[in-house]
Amino acid sequence: MMEPQLCGWISTALAIVIAVVYGFFLKPRRNSISLNPTTSRTVSTVTSNVGSLNGSGGDTVADVIVVGAGVAGSALAYTLGKDNRRVHVIERDLSEPDRIVGELLQPGGYLKLLELGIEDCVEEIDAQRVYGYALFKDGKRIRLAYPLEKFDTDVSGRSFHNGRFIQRMREKAATLPNVQLEQGTVVSLLEENGTVKGVRYKNKAGEELTAFAALTIVCDGCFSNLRRSLCNPQVEVPSCFVGLVLENCHLPYANHGHVVLADPSPILMYPISSTEVRCLVDVPGQKVPSIANGEMENYLKTVVAPQMPHEVYDSFIAAIDKGKIKSMPNRSMPASPYPTPGALLMGDAFNMRHPLTGGGMTVALSDIVVLRNLLRPLRDLSDGSSLCKYLESFYTLRKPVAATINTLANALYKVFCSSKDEARNEMRQACFDYLSLGGMCTSGPVSLLSGLNPRPLTLVCHFFAVAVYGVIRLLLPFPSPKRIWLGARLISGASGIIFPIIKAEGVRQMFFPATVPAYYRGPPVEKPNVHSFS
């Protein structure tokens, strides 16, 4: 078994090698951010002569329109409202959501809540503290603690009912007099001469209205019907989650997330209240066994249940018998925006990754911090073209954190799935054993997973350290031609997993953001108010 010190040496050496390798990827990507907002695309907007933002004819006027009041939209509305912006939030359904994801907030995400001043939204909803993960494979188990030693005692992960968390944030946003929450369905963006001026929407009564603002931020979630106007969506659905709630279940490790490396793909469990545990069974592909005709119940009892830890087996069977089984597709989509004057995408409408690692809310909250800091120096947002050019820096500044979490989620999912390929299974076993070593071999990857150290190069170094560790395990004590070939396939397979993900995220922005001109872009110079008299 390799010592942790050797793992550290491998990681350091790989840092040098990989930094050189990345130089080959620095040529511009075809789908990178275009500086020309008139890029040819299919636009699902309504062109209307909206004129100036004067609110005539009963239409509402705000500084910012936020489409969607989920995690990203609600947090954004409160953040901008606190900065004295007039914010109009339009949400399709203001009743409490009932979802099976968006329930685990990593410690890095909790730090962003603190930074935004909304940490109290995880209070009074029976949220549970999360201090790390437990990993299970072939009867073996390891505990992976978050590296929280340098943080206040309040800092940890949080898990909760997604709907309760969202309602708390909506209520907090609504306490600000300059934030208006309205139930309605946004039909289209209003565009004039290439600049988005607002939205057309139907209110709760079914009346079609328009709302105008200097900036429209679309946060309408993973099923966004507006994103095609503002980005080049390349959505992949690698798998589906099947969700159950286990009642009065005692997890093997209290206040920890649990990941079972099952066949064919992982099972995730974590507490969402003091009496409930969320269980998410990953089913590869876009189709799941039918819930209606009993195929799903049979699949869960015959394929999944035998692989569950014995401590939760009875609760798992009871949850299946209760029949409240839900499913949803797991979507992945790299951020590929069209910079558009007057509009911006955020949240799952903008960027998605596999939810296995629970990084989505951390990315969204981190993006809000970046955007808030960019907008704070500006009093006037009405110059759409100048603001659009300035906000191109948002896409660069967010990238190291967002791309690290995205890459980790998508790569880890592929590693954790079983495979008929012997080399892929060796990589899976090597990952489990590497995390068992302790020291930096444990704390390094867990600090990435928790969002406490979202550094791209650290991620790549540990990923390839796992691969090299797997090769060394194969070659000891005596290498054979078969084992050497298997080791070569392991390295090739690891490269085939991570490099396409990195390329889709954008190597230059991810690893070398300071070389992107937009990184240094300053706020536009605001024109003085000039009043003309006739």
Q: What is the CATH number of the domain that holds 87?
A: 3.50.50.60
What does residue 171 show for φ and ψ, rounded to 5 degrees?
-65, -40
* Whole-number pLDDT of residue 61: 84
* Whole-number pLDDT of residue 48: 35
Q: What is the pLDDT of residues 462-473, one digit of tens each?
A: 999 999 999 999
Q: Which of 115-119, 160-164, 335-339, 359-363 has the lowest mean pLDDT?
A: 335-339
Among 210, 235, 257, CA closest to 332: 235
Is 530 among the domain residues?
no
Alpha-helical regions (H) of 268-359:
295-299, 313-322
State whether 193 and 98 are in the same domain: yes
Is 388 among the domain residues?
no
pLDDT-based confidence at residue 59 (cuts at 50, 70, 90): low
Please compute the mean of the pLDDT values over residues 61-85 and round it to a whole number: 97
Among 498, 443, 513, 503, CA closest to 467: 498
pLDDT-based confidence at residue 40 (cuts at 50, 70, 90): very low
Q: Hey, what are 525's tokens?
A: 């110079």
pLDDT(118) > 50: yes
State whether 378 and 301 are in the same domain: no
Please compute the mean of the pLDDT values over residues 130-151 and round it to a whole number: 97
- Pairwise pLDDT comparison (3 vs 37), residue with the higher score: 3
Domain count, the chain: 3
* Whole-number pLDDT of residue 521: 83
- Give the number of other CB atoms < 10 A from CB of residue 47: 13
Please compute the mean of the pLDDT values over residues 478-501 and round it to a whole number: 95
pLDDT(305) > 50: yes
* Whole-number pLDDT of residue 524: 82
Q: Which of 25-29, 99-103, 294-298, 313-317 has the lowest mean pLDDT?
A: 25-29
The C-alpha atoms of residue 441 and residue 419 are separated, in whole angstroms, by 24
pLDDT(530) > 60: no
Please answer whether residues 374 and 464 qualify as being in contact, where contact means their C-beta atoms are separated by less than 8 angstroms. Answer: no
Is 400 among the domain residues?
no
Domain ranges, residue 212: 64-125+160-234+333-382
* Whole-number pLDDT of residue 527: 65
State whether 194 and 299 are in the same domain: no
pLDDT-based confidence at residue 396 (cuts at 50, 70, 90): very high
Is 22 among the domain residues?
no
Is 198 among the domain residues?
yes
The C-alpha atoms of residue 231 and residue 252 are separated, in whole angstroms, by 43
User: What does the radius of gyration of the chain's CA atoms come to, in whole angstroms?
Assistant: 24
Type of residue found at 341: P
Query: Which residues contact residue 92 at a Cβ distance below 8 angstroms, ignoring those fewer than 6 apart?
Result: 68, 183, 184, 185, 186, 220
Is 58 among the domain residues?
no
Q: Which of 4-13, 51-60, 102-111, 369-378 has the lowest mean pLDDT?
A: 51-60
Is 272 among the domain residues?
yes
Among 406, 492, 411, CA closest to 451: 406
- Give the number of other CB atoms < 10 A from CB of residue 326: 14
Q: What is the pLDDT of residues 491-525, one digit of tens each?
A: 999 999 999 999 999 999 999 998 998 888 888 87
Please compute the mean of the pLDDT values over residues 216-227 and round it to a whole number: 94
Q: Which of 280-284, 301-305, 523-527 has the lowest mean pLDDT?
A: 523-527
State whether 338 and 412 are in the same domain: no
Q: What is the pLDDT of residues 8-32, one digit of tens each?
A: 545 544 544 444 444 434 443 333 3
